């Protein structure tokens, strides 16, 4: 077989573009060369698609979002309507997950409870990002007194255990039912998570601001806000995205914990944590009442954690 005829493992073909335009490579090296020629985002998505655990996590997250959006359609019964003639019904065709001590359908409550968990988890993380990221950018970029003042404030918040601080904030806010109560829980969790994003971004900025392109921006007289938004922040996105995904899972656990303690979402609003609190007294005779809300929390948090781990592996170039 003649060399260079395009057949066999050692077949060679010119590679176009860049410094490799005149170099012939073996066929086995073509995929690696193609991957290096892609943008970092395309490489990350390619690695993410190869990660099966990340895909499982993404499927769970997508399923949760679909259930939360179409809860009114998917729920077979009202999640808040009580029926004293149907209390403690065991799982059946009519009530697949049984009924609680007030005769409410547990499946419907779990389906509608996904809205609270997803809303609080996502909203609290976004609010923490909205405050924590700018603080981290300013602290890392300007340094000096600005850095010292902001980081000591963050250290003060981090000095409290996350659950203790959340409980203190909810006692101050006074738990209430409805949308207002959900907003209070969201705000409390967001305050707890602000230092995490502030310190994460500060650490990234400290290394990025020493790069040559930042020095070039300063030499050209580019204003600091433009430099931060156009050159510094985009290079901090990878760790922010990963931490955000994992942070949603943590926020869901904190919301469920607060509700279990009676300081989070208040009845009659469906909440997985509150259902655990209300039904734990009947766990021996009616174990399914606590089992299914606990499984909902477990599966949801597992999905976000798997997806977050996959994103970390995909976006970290050292883990190719």
**Cβ atoms of residues 100 and 292 within 8 Å:** no
Summarised one tens digit per residue, pLDDT across range 231-285 is 888 888 888 988 999 899 999 999 999 999 989 888 888 999 999 988 888 888 8
Confidence of residue 22 (pLDDT cuts 50, 70, 90): very low
User: pLDDT (tens digit, 9 = 90+) per residue, 92-128?
Assistant: 898 999 899 889 999 999 999 999 999 999 999 999 9
pLDDT reported for residue 115: 92
CATH of domain 51-319: 1.10.3720.10
Distances (CA, A) of 266 to 85, 153, 241, 269: 24, 31, 31, 6
Residue 8 has pLDDT above 60, yes or no: no
Paired strand residues for 12: 26
Closest CA to 299 of 141, 71, 126, 67: 67
Out of 5-9, 179-183, 198-202, give the one with best mean pLDDT. 198-202
């Amino acid at each position: 077989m003649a060399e260079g005829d395009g057949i066999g493992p050692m077949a060679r073909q010119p590679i176009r573009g860049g410094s490799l335009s005149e170099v012939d490579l073996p066929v086995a090296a073509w995929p690696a060369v193609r991957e290096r020629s892609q943008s970092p985002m395309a490489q990350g998505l390619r690695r993410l698609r190869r990660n099966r655990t990340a895909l499982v996590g993404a499927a769970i997250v997508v399923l949760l979002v679909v259930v939360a959006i179409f809860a009114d359609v998917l729920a077979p019964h009202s999640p808040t309507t009580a029926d004293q003639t149907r209390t403690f019904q065991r799982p059946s065709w009519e009530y697949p997950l049984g009924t609680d001590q007030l005769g409410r359908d547990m499946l419907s409550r779990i389906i509608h409870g996904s809205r609270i968990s997803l809303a609080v988890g996502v909203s609290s993380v976004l609010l923490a990002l909205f405050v924590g990221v700018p603080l981290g950018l300013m602290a890392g970029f300007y340094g000096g007194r600005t850095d010292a003042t902001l980081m000591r404030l963050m250290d003060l918040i981090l000095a409290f255990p996350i659950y203790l601080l959340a409980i203190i904030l909810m006692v101050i806010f006074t738990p209430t039912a409805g949308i207002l109560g959900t907003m209070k829980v969201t705000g409390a969790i967001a305050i707890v998570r602000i230092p995490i994003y502030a310190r994460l971004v500060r650490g990234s900025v400290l290394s990025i601001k020493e790069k040559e392109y930042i020095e070039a921006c300063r030499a050209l007289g580019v204003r600091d806000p433009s430099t931060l938004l156009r050159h510094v922040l985009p290079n901090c996105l990878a760790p922010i995205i990963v931490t955000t995904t994992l942070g949603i899972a943590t926020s869901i656990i904190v919301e469920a914990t607060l509700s279990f303690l009676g300081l989070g979402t208040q009845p009659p609003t469906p909440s997985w944590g509150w259902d655990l609190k209300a039904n734990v007294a009947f766990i021996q005779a009616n174990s399914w009442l606590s089992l299914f809300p606990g499984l909902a929390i477990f599966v949801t948090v597992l999905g976000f954690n798997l997806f977050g781990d996959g994103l970390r592996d995909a976006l970290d170039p050292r883990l190719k």
